[in-house]
Chains A and B, each alone.
Chain A
Amino acid sequence: MTTVHIPFLQTGTLAVGGRLLTEEERSVQSHADRPSSLTKGHRACQGCAEALAARWVMDTAVEAAGGKLVVANATGCLEVFSTLYPESAWKPPWIHSLFANAAAVATGIAASLHAQGRDDVRVLAQGGDGGTVDIGLAAVSGMFERNDDVLYVCYDNQGYMNTGVQRSSATPATARTATTPAVGRHPGQAFGQGKSMVKIAMAHEIPYVASATPADLRDLEAKVRIAMSIRGARYLHVLVPCPLGWGSASSASIALARAAVQSGIFPVVEARAGELTGVERIRERVDVSEYLRPQARFAHLFKPGGEDALERWRALAEANIRRYDLLGGAR
């Protein structure tokens, strides 16, 4: 008789809802009366990890703020799919002004609330990587530098997906985008470009900086809670796989986010006042190809001639593993 090994995950441990946990340990999402700040009916793509992450971030922040949260949103997918007039998927008071100014609008809201003596109302700003790392960087940096009382959340899908998948300065090396085509000897986005927004945020020595992914939503939730318990400028960088822009299956978003972390490509970290204070260790290390292969934007890496680029990817992962001690010395 043959036996089949069926992996069994105890619901309530790593699983999302946590309904078997004690009341205090459960996620916001496990409650029937969760805020549903980004509610149903919006127009996000199937498998959009940004929509998932935004719902968790927002619901946690709303709960942490006792229901008193105001949101400033940059132009981008998140704005477009949620607020096509005359409909809105947002339950908290929410404003969209421009692409580059979500951080500054949030500063204005926070300043106004402070002037009105309404320090009980909290302010959250959010945008994609384009609105944060590229066009909005000056406003984000200004908000950090002044230590304005704003939690800024960047949902990083590594490109301008809303405008048709163009390269941003968060686009990873070798990724094929509409403006970094993989043609001939040009393997998509060049190596050596791009910037780490987490490191940039840390360099401002703001009270709290963290990265997270929707592969570990409880971790994301915990980081939002910590961020909301602190006053001043806070930054959360969330990697959000994008089926449209990455050329991946709608069902693969969570697996891809997990592979990004477990390969060492996306370090999940925490920092306070510029000092690294926490690192999510790799639990089950995977090769970078597990992260790259399911994405059509990297398809050329798996054709003849792509070997060198794959090796450079492995070197990037190694560098992250060394820098953040992602294997915890147990290599």
Chain B
Amino acid sequence: MREVLEGSQAVARTVARCRPGVVCAYPISPQTHIVEALSVMARTGELADCEYVNVESEFSAMSVAIGASAAGSRAYTATASQGLLYMAEAVYNAAGMGLPIVMTVANRAVGAPINIWNDHSDAMAMRDAGWLQLFAADNQEAADLHVIAFAAAEELGIPAMVCMDGFVLTHASDVVELATADQIDAFLPPYRPQQVLDVDHPTTIGTMAGPESFTETRYLQHLRFLDAADVIAAWSDRFRAAFGREAGGLIARYSPDTLDRDAQAPPASSTDLTVVAMGSVVGTLQAALAPLRAEGVPVRLVGVSSFRPFPEAALRDALGGSRHVLVVDRALELGAGGVLTGSVGRALAGTRSRIHSVVAGLGGRPILEASLQDAVRRALAGDLGALEFLDLKTGGVPVPAAGASEVTR
């Protein structure tokens, strides 16, 4: 059934239909609508056989999820920004213990200065925590990704973050078609934990590993992560077969003609400029690049759906040796450039592609179609540097001279 829903509602209803055993909640914008909706469903019975726990911090939210997952329940929580960083220690811990928790991250900037609006700094800060990180381009995909996330996480024994742009998606109403409970029951296998705190088969979880075994522990985690790309791709293929629409995958290919998502789209060529982006800005790019294509500008679009694991091979293949690769990045590696750009650069090491990092949309700054078009044109004209801040206002911002510092009291 197609319906108009707020992104958070679409996610909450889909999560409920995945039948989590424990949901823990702590409010932080822009994630709050998700756990609010789940709290209602827990009380109406739509979310059945589930404990809904109001915790006192994000750190405890992830910790409750860890306990619940280890005790044999499908566990879910949602957070953003400061909340994700506040739980950071437990985020790493969940991955180290192989607990397939699923968490929505309503992507938001990280302070200071405090800012509640969207960028990807929060998720990027957790990029090495050992979680799958799946990015949604729109609300339909945000909802669908949760089904894929539970399936892939539980098969792998790796927790999964579903990242959706705060406000841009969480608070936007859009037409969606949600997977029904029956469809999800048929699609998603029941939770069978790989390790569980069982009184009939006692086990010790979370031991100390010294120098003689820590490297091997990490190596095994790395091997599991190498498997993750295939597992995500396989569940995404199954999802397409079962539901008749695209969601997830490692990368999203877009048709050169219509700029619609198209798994069969041919790779870009060595004469193209390919824009690489992640999250909702892909939708902006579809609109922004269409007129350029109509003019005959050789521009292509590739979305990164899975940031962790990072799909180096799939991305290289889709980029097809593009002359220019323009990465639209919503997170900044200070002193270096865009965070996504760093991963793209590693994937393209040894190729002749020229990489441009365009840092855009930090702290909720709107990313304008005209600005993106301008960046593409300038790149093709050889007039775009390796790092550019889109729509940076230099006039009104005091920019101190390099090396200058002042003590403020």
Interface residues, chain A, with chain B CB atoms under 8 Å away: 67-70, 72-73, 79-80, 83-86, 88, 90-98, 100-101, 104-116, 121, 138-139, 141-142, 145-146
Other A-B pairs, 13, CB within 8 Å; known A95-B204, A106-B67, A111-B24: A84-B208, A85-B207, A94-B205, A95-B205, A96-B205, A96-B206, A104-B64, A105-B70, A107-B64, A107-B67, A108-B53, A111-B53, A116-B21
Q: A84-B208, A91-B202, A93-B198 are in contact. Are A98 and B68 (CB under 8 A)?
A: no
- Taking the nearest CB of chain B, how far is it from the CB of A144, in angstroms? 10
**Complex interface: chain B residues within 8 A of A106 (CB):** 67
**B56 CB within 8 Å of chain A:** yes
In the complex the two chains form, is B202's CB within 8 Å of A94's CB? yes
In the complex the two chains form, is A85's CB within 8 Å of B70's CB? no
In the complex the two chains form, is B210's CB within 8 Å of A85's CB? yes
Q: Which residue of A lies closest to B54 (CB)?
A: A146
In the complex the two chains form, is A105's CB within 8 Å of B63's CB? yes
- Give bound CA distance, A112 to B24, whole Å: 11
**Complex interface: chain B residues within 8 A of A96 (CB):** 205-207
In the complex the two chains form, is A145's CB within 8 Å of B199's CB? no
In the complex the two chains form, is A70's CB within 8 Å of B64's CB? no
**Complex interface: chain A residues within 8 A of B53 (CB):** 107-108, 111, 146
Q: Which residue of B lies closest to A88 (CB)?
A: B204
Q: A96-B205, A104-B55 are in contact. Are A115 and B63 (CB under 8 A)?
A: no
**B405 CB within 8 Å of chain A:** no
Q: Provide the main secondary structure of the chain A interface.
A: mixed
**Complex interface: chain A residues within 8 A of B24 (CB):** 108, 111
In the complex the two chains form, is A84's CB within 8 Å of B210's CB? yes
In the complex the two chains form, is B206's CB within 8 Å of A80's CB? no
- Give bound CA distance, A141 to B69, whole Å: 22
In the complex the two chains form, is A112's CB within 8 Å of B72's CB? yes
**Complex interface: chain A residues within 8 A of B205 (CB):** 93-96
**Complex interface: chain A residues within 8 A of B208 (CB):** 79-80, 83-85
In the complex the two chains form, is A97's CB within 8 Å of B51's CB? no
In the complex the two chains form, is A88's CB within 8 Å of B207's CB? yes
- Taking the nearest CB of chain A, how far is it from the CB of B58, in angstroms? 11
In the complex the two chains form, is B203's CB within 8 Å of A93's CB? yes
In the complex the two chains form, is A83's CB within 8 Å of B207's CB? yes
In the complex the two chains form, is A111's CB within 8 Å of B93's CB? no
- Taking the nearest CB of chain B, how far is it from the CB of A136, in angstroms? 10
In the complex the two chains form, is B59's CB within 8 Å of A101's CB? yes
- Taking the nearest CB of chain B, how far is it from the CB of A231, in angstroms? 15
**Complex interface: chain B residues within 8 A of A108 (CB):** 22, 24, 53, 63-71, 75
**B394 CB within 8 Å of chain A:** no
Contacting A at CB under 8 A, from B34-74, are 49-51, 53-57, 59-60, 63-73
In the complex the two chains form, is B56's CB within 8 Å of A142's CB? yes
**Complex interface: chain B residues within 8 A of A141 (CB):** 56
8 Å CB contact of A138 from B56, B73, B97: B56
In the complex the two chains form, is B197's CB within 8 Å of A105's CB? no
In the complex the two chains form, is A97's CB within 8 Å of B64's CB? no
**Complex interface: chain A residues within 8 A of B97 (CB):** 97
- Give bound CA distance, A139 to B97, whole Å: 20
Which 10 pairs show the lowest CB-CB distances between chains A and B? A108-B67, A104-B63, A142-B56, A101-B63, A96-B206, A112-B71, A88-B204, A111-B51, A105-B67, A112-B73
In the complex the two chains form, is A112's CB within 8 Å of B67's CB? yes
Q: A84-B208, A95-B197 are in contact. Are A100 and B59 (CB under 8 A)?
A: yes
Scoring B residues 334 to 359 as 1 if CB is less than 8 Å from chain A, else 0, what string do you get?
00000000000000000000000000
In the complex the two chains form, is A101's CB within 8 Å of B210's CB? no
- Taking the nearest CB of chain A, how far is it from the CB of B136, in angstroms? 27
Q: Which residue of B lies closest to A68 (CB)?
A: B199
- Taking the nearest CB of chain B, how far is it from the CB of A26, in angstroms? 25
In the complex the two chains form, is B213's CB within 8 Å of A92's CB? no
Q: A111-B51, A141-B56, A142-B56 are in contact. Are A70 and B199 (CB under 8 A)?
A: yes
- Give bound CA distance, A239 to B70, whole Å: 30
In the complex the two chains form, is A98's CB within 8 Å of B202's CB? no
- Give bound CA distance, A121 to B67, whole Å: 14
- Give bound CA distance, A91 to B201, whole Å: 10
Q: Which residue of A lies closest to B24 (CB)?
A: A108
- Taking the nearest CB of chain A, how far is it from the CB of B317, in angstroms? 40
**Complex interface: chain A residues within 8 A of B65 (CB):** 108
- Give bound CA distance, A83 to B204, whole Å: 8
- Give bound CA distance, A79 to B204, whole Å: 11
**Complex interface: chain A residues within 8 A of B213 (CB):** 85-86
Q: A93-B199, A115-B51 are in contact. Are A105 and B204 (CB under 8 A)?
A: no
In the complex the two chains form, is B204's CB within 8 Å of A72's CB? no
**Complex interface: chain A residues within 8 A of B21 (CB):** 111-112, 115-116
**Complex interface: chain B residues within 8 A of A86 (CB):** 207, 213
- Give bound CA distance, A249 to B204, whole Å: 32
In the complex the two chains form, is B70's CB within 8 Å of A139's CB? no
- Give bound CA distance, A114 to B22, whole Å: 10
- Give bound CA distance, A93 to B199, whole Å: 6
**Complex interface: chain B residues within 8 A of A73 (CB):** 206
**B273 CB within 8 Å of chain A:** no
**B89 CB within 8 Å of chain A:** yes
Task: Give 7 CB contacts A-B under 8 Å.
Answer: A85-B209, A94-B205, A108-B66, A112-B21, A112-B51, A112-B67, A112-B71
**B289 CB within 8 Å of chain A:** no
**Complex interface: chain B residues within 8 A of A112 (CB):** 21-22, 51, 67-69, 71-73, 75
In the complex the two chains form, is B68's CB within 8 Å of A94's CB? no
- Taking the nearest CB of chain A, how far is it from the CB of B35, in angstroms? 15
- Give bound CA distance, A107 to B22, whole Å: 10
- Taking the nearest CB of chain B, how far is it from the CB of A141, in angstroms? 7
Q: A85-B209, A88-B207, A108-B63 are in contact. Are A113 and B55 (CB under 8 A)?
A: no
**Complex interface: chain B residues within 8 A of A84 (CB):** 207-208, 210
Q: A85-B208, A108-B67 are in contact. Are A97 and B202 (CB under 8 A)?
A: no
**B232 CB within 8 Å of chain A:** no
In the complex the two chains form, is B60's CB within 8 Å of A109's CB? no
- Give bound CA distance, A142 to B26, whole Å: 12
